Amino acid sequence: MTTTTATRHDRRMYAIMNRPDLQALSRTAARRRAWVAAHVVLTAASVALWLGSVHLGPLWMSCALLALVLPWCVAMGAINGATRGLLELRDRMLDERQLHERDRVRAVAHRITLGMLVSVAAVTGLAAWLGGIRFDGALLFPVLFALLVVHWMLPAWVACLRVQDDAPDEADELG
């Protein structure tokens, strides 16, 4: 980490993302998978509620969406803590290994997103060709919005799933 050019904001964000007291939340691979799964479910529910409130308009969907904000933020914070801010910190706050890992995470997430886009395009093209189905804006917008959210969140999910377990402390080995 190069701190010579780090701003006060950089140092504060680094401290938040690397709090030792919160590392227990994501110490094991099982815990990290659980946080990612919870975040995926919360994100999917949020997208569904937002789309429902925009297109259908019931007030309860907006209220339910607001109720999901806090758990979503907690899960996102756990993911950022597990990755130690890999995707949130500026380049100057990461060492070469972390910069390389961030590039790898983004490449893997990009490949997954590309596969999803190709699959959606193939399915819609095949359905239109075989069944004569016309896709209009009513279906197109929700699908594209969901893909946008996946494209936005996938690097964080991939980064969290790729984190290696910390080496056990000597006190843990003896006790």
Domain segments of the chain as ranges: 28-168
Q: What pLDDT score was predicted for residue 2? A: 47
Model confidence at 68: pLDDT above 60? yes
Average pLDDT of the chain is 87
Give the separation between CA 65 and CA 53, rounded to whole angstroms: 9
* Cβ-based neighbours of 28, under 8 Å, separated by 6 or more: 165
CA dihedral 92, 97, 100, 102 (to 10 degrees): -70
Backbone angles phi, psi at 86, to 5 degrees: -50, -40
Rounded to two decimals, the pTM is: 0.84
Could you tell me the pLDDT band of residue 151, with boundaries at 50, 70 and 90?
very high
- Residues for the chain: how many in total? 175
Could you tell me the pLDDT band of residue 137, with boundaries at 50, 70 and 90?
low
Q: What pLDDT score was predicted for residue 162? A: 94
